[in-house]
Amino acid sequence: MRRYLTRKLITYLLAFFVGATIDWGIPHLMPGDPVQLFLSKFDLEPGGYGALYKTMAQAFGTNLPLWDQYWHFWDGLLHGSLGVSIYAFPDQVTTLIFSAIPYTLALLVPAIVLSYLLGNRLGAAAARRKLLDNTLLPAGYIFQAIPYPWLALVLPYLLGEVWHVFPISGAYDEGLLPAFSWTFIASLIDHWFLPFLTVFIVSLGGWAIGMRNLVIYELENDSSRYLRALGGSERLIRRYAYRNASLPQLSGLALQLGVVVGGNIVTEIAFRYPGLGLLIYNAITDEDYFLLQGIFIFIVIGVLLANFIIDLVYISVDPRTRLSMQGAAS
C-alpha cells in the first residue's frame, strides 16, 4: 500500500515537473514578441519606443536567454509568484486569475455537477426499460451529437434575439458596477443562465448514455441475479446496481472537475463571459507568456489532483482495487 502510494506520488511529481515545463515552453514557442505587441497598442515616437522597449524587455526578462527565463519561472513559482501580466500591464497574474476564477467556477461547476446528477439518474432509469430506453436514449444521442458552438449560437438566437428572454453576452449589464446589491445579483443570474444551459445540455447526454450501459451490465451481474433470487425488490436491485455503476462515472466527474480551472474557452468566447477561458484566449492573442504560464499551472495542478483523488477514491471505495494491487504488484 505504502509502496503503491509512493510510486504514485513520484510519478505525479514528475508529471507536474514535465507538465509545467511543457506549459512554460509552448507559449515561448510562439512567433512574435509580447513586449512589441503590448507597445504597439500605444502611439509612440520611435525614440521613446526604443527606450521603452528596452526597459520593458528587461523588466519582463524577455531579453534573457531562454534558459534563464526558464530558471526564473521555477524560481518565481516556488516562491509563489506567477509574475506580472504583459497584456493587462501592471496587474499581477494571480490577481487576474483570481478575478476570473469565480465566474468560471460558478458557470462550470453547477453545469457539470447538475448534468452529472440528472444524466446519471435518467440513464439508470432508462436501463432495461423499453419505453424509456426508446424515448430517452435517442434524445441523449442527439444531445451528445450537437456541436457545442452551434448550440451556443442557436439558443442565444432564440432566447436572446428572437424572444428577448435572456441577455446573450457578458457576465452582467454593462451599466452596472460589481456590487453586493439586488440589481447586480439579478443581472449576474440573468447573464449566467444561457451559458450554463448550453454547457448543461451538451454534457447531459454523455452521462445518461454511459450510465445506462453501466447499469445494464450491473443488472446482468451475478450479484444482481443473486439478489433477485433472494427475493430482493426491483427497486433494491436497481439501487445496488446504481451504486456499483457510479464508480467509473465518478472518476469521469473528477476528471472533468479537474480541468474546470482551465475554463471552457468556447463557451466563454461565445458568450463573452469573463472567466478563465476568455482570459486564456486574450492571453494567447496578446502572447502574454506569464498569464498563460500562470493559468496552465492551475490546470496542471487541477488535472493531477483529480487523478490522485480518483486513485484514492478507488482504493477506498472499491475493495477489488486493493485486491488487484496486491495481486498484480509486479
Partner 1 sequence: MSDVTASPEAPEPAMAPLPGVPVALPPAASRHRSDLVYYGLRNRKLVVGLAVEALFVLAALFGPVISPDNTTAYYLPHLAPSAQHWLGTDYFGHDVFAQLVVGLRESYLVGALGALCAAFTGMALGFTAGYRGGLLDEVLQMITNIMVMIPSLVLLVVIGAYLKTRGILFEGVFIGLTTWPWVARAVRAQTFTLRSRDFVDLARLSGRRAHSIVIRDIAPNMASYLFLVVVLLFGSSMLLAASYDFLGLGPTNVISLGTMMNQSTQWSALQLHVWWWFVPPGLVLTGMVAALLVANVGLDEIFNPRLREQ
Verify binding: residue 6, partner 1, rule CB under 8 A: no
Count of residues near partner 1 by CB under 8 A:
84
Smallest gap, in angstroms, from Cβ of residue 328 to partner 1? Answer: 8
Cβ proximity of 110 and 193 under 8 Å = no
Site for partner 1 in 238-277 (CB under 8 A): 244, 247-249, 251-253, 255-256, 259, 262, 265-266, 269-270
Smallest gap, in angstroms, from Cβ of residue 13 to partner 1? Answer: 10
For 10-18, which contacts have Cβ atoms below 8 Å and span 24 or more sequence positions? 12/304, 12/307, 12/308, 15/304, 16/300, 16/301, 16/304
Smallest gap, in angstroms, from Cβ of residue 71 to partner 1? Answer: 21
Smallest gap, in angstroms, from Cβ of residue 179 to partner 1? Answer: 29
Smallest gap, in angstroms, from Cβ of residue 159 to partner 1? Answer: 11
Site for partner 1 in 23-52 (CB under 8 A): 23, 26-27, 29-32
Smallest gap, in angstroms, from Cβ of residue 160 to partner 1? Answer: 8
Which one, of 199, 200, 196, 194, lies nearest residue 169 by Cα?
194
Closer by beta carbon to partner 1, 87 or else 207: 207
Task: Compute the distance between CA of residue 18 and CA of residue 34 in angstroms, rounded to an integer.
Answer: 24
**Window 211-230: contact mask with partner 1 (x via CB under 8 A):** --xx-xxx-xxx--------
Task: Compute the distance between CA of residue 286 and CA of residue 263 in angstroms, rounded to an integer.
Answer: 18
Site for partner 1 in 284-323 (CB under 8 A): 284, 292, 296, 299-300, 303-304, 307, 311, 314, 318, 320-321, 323
Task: Compute the distance between CA of residue 101 and CA of residue 280 in angstroms, rounded to an integer.
Answer: 12
Site for partner 1 in 147-206 (CB under 8 A): 147-151, 153-154, 156-157, 160-162, 168, 206
Residue 1, classed as helix, strand or coil, is: coil
The string of DSSP letters for 10-58 reads: HHHHHHHHHHHHHHHHHHHTSSS-HHHHHHTTS---HHHHHHHHHHHHH
Closer by beta carbon to partner 1, 98 or else 150: 150
Cβ proximity of 300 and 16 under 8 Å = yes
